[in-house]
Amino acid sequence: MSASTETGVVEAVGKELFIGGKWVAAQDGKTFPVVDPATGKELCQVADASPSDGVAALDAAVAAQADFAKMAPRERGEILRRAYELLMRRQEELALLMTLEMGKPLAESKGEIAYAAEFFRWFAEEAVRIDGGYATAPNGTGRFLITKQPVGPALLITPWNFPMAMGTRKIGPAIAAGCTSVIKPAAQTPLSMLALAGILAEAGLPEGVLNVVTTTDSGGVMEPLIRDGRARKLSFTGSTGVGRKLLEQCADKVLRTSMELGGNAPFLVFDDADMDAAIDGAMQAKMRNIGEACTAANRFYVQRGVVDEFARRLTERMRALPMGRGTEQDVVVGPLIDQNAVDKVTELVKDATDRGARVLTGGSGVDGPGHFYPATVLTDVPQEARLTHEEIFGPVAPITPFDTEEEAVAKANDTEFGLVSYVFTSDLKRALRVSEALEAGMIGLNQGIVSNPAAPFGGIKQSGLGREGGSVGIDEFLETKYIAVAL
Strand 376-379 with 396-402, pairing:
parallel
Which candidate, 53, 317, 61, places its Cα nearest to that of 179? 61
Q: Cα–Cα distances in Å, from 354 out to 102, 264, 365?
A: 31, 21, 17
The helix (run of H) or strand (run of E) holding residue 370 is: none
Report the C-alpha gap between 240 and 436 in whole angstroms: 24
Cα 53 from Cα 436, distance rounded (Å)? 47
What residues contact residue 314 under an 8 Å CB cut-off, 6+ apart? Answer: 279, 282, 283, 300, 377, 397, 399
DSSP string, 183-230: EE--TT--HHHHHHHHHHHHTTPPTTSEEE---S-HHHHHHHHHHHSS
Q: Are 65 and 179 in contact (CB under 8 A)?
A: yes
| 233-237 and 256-260 beta bridge pairing | parallel
Residue 243 CA to residue 22 CA, distance in Å, equals 30
Pick the closest to residue 106 from 344, 341, 322 (CA basis).
322
Helix ranges (DSSP H) in 288-330: 307-319
Catalytic: 407? no
Length reported for the chain: 487
Catalytic position from the list 260, 292, 391, 476: 260
What is the rounded CA–CA span in Å between residue 8 and residue 183?
Answer: 25
Residue from 233, 258, 88 nearest 166 by CA: 258
What does each C-alpha distance from 70 to 79, 151, 178 come to in angstroms? Answer: 15, 13, 8
Helices 165-177 and 191-202 cross at an angle (nearest 10°) of 30
Cβ count within 10 A of residue 314: 25
Report which secondary-structure segment, H or E, holds 439.
none
Report the catalytic residues: 260
